[in-house]
Amino acid sequence: MAVLRAENLHKTFRSRGRVVQAVSGVSLRVERGEVLAFLGPNGAGKTTTIKMVAGLVRPDRGLVRIEERDPHRDPWTLRRLGAVLEGNRNVYWRLTPLENLEYFGVLRGLTAGAARRRGELLLRRFDLDHKKNALTQQLSRGMQQKLAIAVSLVHEPALLLLDEPTLGLDVEAAETVKQIVRELAAEGQAIVLTTHHLDVAQQLSDRVAIIREGRIVAKDRTKTLLARFSGEQYEIEVAAELDEPRRRRVAGLGAEVADGHVVYVGDPEGLWQVLEVLRPLPILRVEKDRADLTEVFLKLVREEADA
Amino acid sequence: MLRVIAIEFKRGLLNLRRYPLEMVGQLVVITLIFYGLFLGARYIAGPAAQFGGRLDALVVGYVLWTLSLFAIGDLSWGLMNEAREGTLEQVFLSPYGPARVYLARNAASLLIMLGFNLVILFVLLFLTGAHLHFAGAAVWPLAAALLGAYGVGFMLGALALYFKRIQAFLNLFQFVMMFLVMTPFERLEGLGRLAGMLLPITPGAGMLRGLLARGEPFDMHLFALALANGLVYLLVGLWVFTYAVRLTKERGLLGGY
């Protein structure tokens, strides 16, 4: 059973006489222990989709199921969902971290005692226990974000929605949040992550969905998508100078030699032939050119724009 | 649901404690007003002066006036603040649903406000040696009037949720409240009397005037009417609020300000 199943979501907004198709036919699926990076340029429909999943925006068409329950019809489905929403404080700045955890724990259906115990546990885990009695407004931005994530987990949801969790964080705080996401996924948490930090998405996600102008333009496993956009180029670093006969034979196979590097563009079969020519020279490194998510993202988004 | 009221009560108290100046300010204002009433300054009670010249009538009238104002505006101010600060959507993620959470929040805030008023009142009674001869029965029409006030509070909350900025409208509504609390509909004939039965807060306020200012006995029928009026307004208020929640979600207006 998928933790999240969103199918064929549509949403139109009317603003000052204009009709804006915010989301059009978006489907997402997330399994237990899986991180789905949901990417797209500003205004592409990410946040609207996330809010439709969270029951905060009602879709015009389509369905949302969290563990096969509908958050728009059955409010107790929200017991299985946690969310950190972008552009929001998400927590009360006048309360301490522990008080926030207790308050939101009860609001999500826990008893006050259970919420406090779980809150203490999360504060220790997120290295915030030394701040548990400080006012939230006095915490650093990174700590506030960690607290917002802790609060979203207080009721042990099956699905976690993280909308721009590293936005505005310094490098260290962003690394901590990334580590938390990794650990949660390893423990079986299903996570939908939206971010403009594509390196973060690449490092954390098992699968990627890219949305543009309300439509999904790519959806695949992260590795598969990267491989699809990676070139057939290999770079071989050799520890010694190549003699002239080897240079000629390597060139004959279509490879180029420059600054101690042999660059070969072709299929893996050809690569083995190049390596055979280089034998027995000591090889320091063989590396396949790999696209990163930023390249894939820009390519897809621009391709769609040109289409 | 009780646990939600309890946690809202705790949150309310913590908020008061976090900003002691705000709390001290409230305490000072309430103390001064009660003290003024004790010294015979009837004008200080504002619309409560309609409840008769006796001290107990003034005090009950004043409590009705302040609590009604609080009941009507508290939810809307809270929603506007939460929309601005970015905690509104987290509250809406509660499986209890926003209507129940805000009902619990209202109940908790009312308890805190009531506690504030009663503590100050008893301290002043102790310090001044004054005596109040409360007609215990006055509590019932007061409660019925407050139910209606909370009903109107939910209707205004619906507007606050949808439009987000209704500060000017809320300030204007104080005059509507003054009209509802002060007008002696129960003394009018014909349409005026009918309006007194149908408008929010008015049957409870009218019954209080009868009990305290005119020394009338507790009328069970009148109370049944006041209670029914209060309950109907509360239920209608909750329905309107729930409808506004649905509309706000449909139009994607929940998070904006």
- Residue count of chain B, please give it: 257
| Candidates A54, A92, A109; nearest CB to B95 | A109
Looking at beta carbons, which residues of chain B come within 8 Å of A79? 95
Using a CB–CB cutoff of 8 Å, tell me whether B15 touches chain A.
Answer: yes
pLDDT band at B119 (very low <50, low <70, confident <90, very high): confident
**Alpha helices of A22-169 — where are they, by DSSP H?**
46-53, 97-107, 112-125, 141-153
Looking at beta carbons, which residues of chain A come within 8 Å of B4? 106-107
Is the confidence at residue A155, as pLDDT, over 60? yes
Using a CB–CB cutoff of 8 Å, tell me whether A167 touches chain B.
Answer: no
Looking at beta carbons, which residues of chain A come within 8 Å of B101? 107
Using a CB–CB cutoff of 8 Å, tell me whether A49 touches chain B.
Answer: no
pLDDT at A26: 95
| Predicted confidence (pLDDT) per residue in A209-230, tens digit | 989 889 998 888 888 877 777 7
- In a 3-state reduction of DSSP, which class is residue A73? coil
Domain shared by A282 and A135, yes or no:
no
Closest CA of chain B from A111, distance in Å: 7
Exposed/middle/buried for residue B239 (C-beta within 10 Å: 0-12, 13-18, 19+): middle
Cα B107–chain centre separation: 10
Is the confidence at residue A35, as pLDDT, over 90? yes
Residue from B183, B173, B233 nearest B209 by CA: B183
Domain shared by A75 and A56, yes or no:
yes
Residue from A15, A16, A42, A40 nearest A26 by CA: A40
Using a CB–CB cutoff of 8 Å, tell me whether B189 touches chain A.
Answer: no
pLDDT at A154: 94
Domain shared by A85 and A145, yes or no:
yes
Looking at beta carbons, which residues of chain A come within 8 Å of B7? 102-103, 106-107, 112
Is the confidence at residue B129, as pLDDT, over 80? no
Mean pLDDT value of segment B8-25: 87
Mean pLDDT value of segment B188-207: 83
pLDDT at B43: 61
Looking at beta carbons, which residues of chain B come within 8 Å of A91? 87, 90
A222 found inside a domain: yes
A102 found inside a domain: yes
Domain shared by A154 and A266, yes or no:
no
A141 found inside a domain: yes
| Predicted confidence (pLDDT) per residue in A248-262, tens digit | 888 888 888 877 788
Last residue of a domain, one of A207, A227, A247: A227
pLDDT band at A44 (very low <50, low <70, confident <90, very high): confident
| Predicted confidence (pLDDT) per residue in B28-72, tens digit | 887 887 777 777 666 666 666 666 667 777 777 778 888 888 888
CB B20 within 8 A of CB B42: no
pLDDT at A304: 62
Domain layout of chain B by residue ranges: 2-250
State the DSSP string of chain B.
Answer: -HHHHHHHHHHHHHHHHHSHHHHHHHHHHHHHHHHHHHTT-GGGGGGGGGG-SSHHHHHHHHHHHHHHHHHHHHHHHHHHHHHHHT-HHHHHT-TT-HHHHHHHHHHHHHHHHHHHHHHHHHHHHHHH-------GGGHHHHHHHHHHHHHHHHHHHHHHHHHS--HHHHHHHHHHHHHHHH--GGG--THHHHHHHHSSSHHHHHHHHHHHTS-PPP-HHHHHHHHHHHHHHHHHHHHHHHHHHHHHHHTT-SS--
A304 found inside a domain: no
Using a CB–CB cutoff of 8 Å, tell me whether A161 touches chain B.
Answer: no
Residue from B16, B171, B223, B27 nearest B108 by CA: B16
Structure tokens at B63: 């409590």
Contact A11 B252 (CB under 8 A): yes
In chain B, whose CA is at the least distance from the CA of A57? B249
Exposed/middle/buried for residue A129 (C-beta within 10 Å: 0-12, 13-18, 19+): middle
| Candidates B249, B250, B255; nearest CB to A88 | B255
Give the dihedral sign, CA B48/B51/B55/B60.
negative
In this prediction the pTM is 0.83
Domain shared by A55 and A165, yes or no:
yes
Edge-to-edge strands of the sheet including A233-238?
A256-258, A261-265, A233-238, A283-288
pLDDT at A159: 95
Q: Across the A/B interface, how many CB contacts are shorter than 8 Å?
A: 101
Using a CB–CB cutoff of 8 Å, tell me whether B84 touches chain A.
Answer: no
pLDDT at A82: 94
State the DSSP string of A158-197.
Answer: SEEEEESTTTT--HHHHHHHHHHHHHHHHTT-EEEEE-S-
Domain shared by A187 and A240, yes or no:
no
Looking at beta carbons, which residues of chain A come within 8 Å of B97? 75
Domain shared by A82 and A158, yes or no:
yes
Side-chain-side CA neighbours of A215 within 13 Å: the count stands at 5
Residue from A70, A213, A64, A55 nearest B254 by CA: A55
List strand residue ranges (DSSP E) for chain A, in order: 4-15, 18-30, 35-39, 61-66, 81-84, 159-163, 190-194, 207-212, 215-221, 233-238, 256-258, 261-265, 283-288
Is the confidence at residue B86, as pLDDT, over 80? yes
Is the confidence at residue B213, as pLDDT, over 80? no
A 253-272 near B (Cβ less than 8 A): none
Mean pLDDT value of segment A3-32: 91
Contact A89 B4 (CB under 8 A): no
Tell me the CATH number at A272: 3.30.70
Contact B93 A102 (CB under 8 A): no
Using a CB–CB cutoff of 8 Å, tell me whether B53 touches chain A.
Answer: no
pLDDT at A307: 59
pLDDT at A204: 87
The ipTM (two decimal places) reads 0.85
Domain shared by A79 and A198, yes or no:
yes
Mean pLDDT value of segment A23-30: 94
| Candidates A58, A92, A95; nearest CB to B250 | A58
Between B248 and B58, the higher pLDDT residue:
B248
Domain shared by A131 and A192, yes or no:
yes
A235 found inside a domain: yes
Looking at beta carbons, which residues of chain B come within 8 Å of A81? 93
Is the confidence at residue B233, as pLDDT, over 70? yes
pLDDT at B135: 64
Closest CA of chain A from B29, distance in Å: 23
pLDDT at B186: 73
In chain A, whose CA is at the least distance from the CA of B245? A56
Is the confidence at residue B257, as pLDDT, over 60? no
Structure tokens at B32: 């001064």
A36, β-bridge pairs:
A192, A207
Q: How far apart are CA A149 and CA A84, in angstroms?
A: 6
pLDDT band at A67 (very low <50, low <70, confident <90, very high): very high
Which range has the worst mean pLDDT, A159-163, A270-274, B124-128, B162-166? B124-128
Domain shared by A277 and A211, yes or no:
no
Residue from A178, A192, A177 nearest A6 by CA: A192
Using a CB–CB cutoff of 8 Å, tell me whether B115 touches chain A.
Answer: no
| Predicted confidence (pLDDT) per residue in B167-176, tens digit | 888 888 888 8
| Candidates B7, B87, B94; nearest CB to A78 | B94
pLDDT at A50: 94
A307 found inside a domain: no
pLDDT at A295: 76
Closest CA of chain A from B3, distance in Å: 7
Mean pLDDT value of segment B211-225: 84
Is the confidence at residue A280, as pLDDT, over 70? yes
CB A93 within 8 A of CB A170: no
pLDDT band at B19 (very low <50, low <70, confident <90, very high): confident
The total number of structural domains in chain A stands at 2
pLDDT at B154: 94
* Domain span at A264: 231-288
Domain shared by A134 and A256, yes or no:
no
- In a 3-state reduction of DSSP, which class is residue A295? helix
pLDDT at B44: 60
Which range has the worst mean pLDDT, A48-62, A112-126, A171-185, B238-252? A171-185
Token look-up 């489905």 returns A77
Tell me the CATH number at A54: 3.40.50.300
Domain shared by A259 and A149, yes or no:
no
| Predicted confidence (pLDDT) per residue in A286-299, tens digit | 888 777 777 777 87
Structure tokens at B41: 């300054």
Between B57 and A7, the higher pLDDT residue:
A7
pLDDT at A58: 94
Between B128 and B113, the higher pLDDT residue:
B113
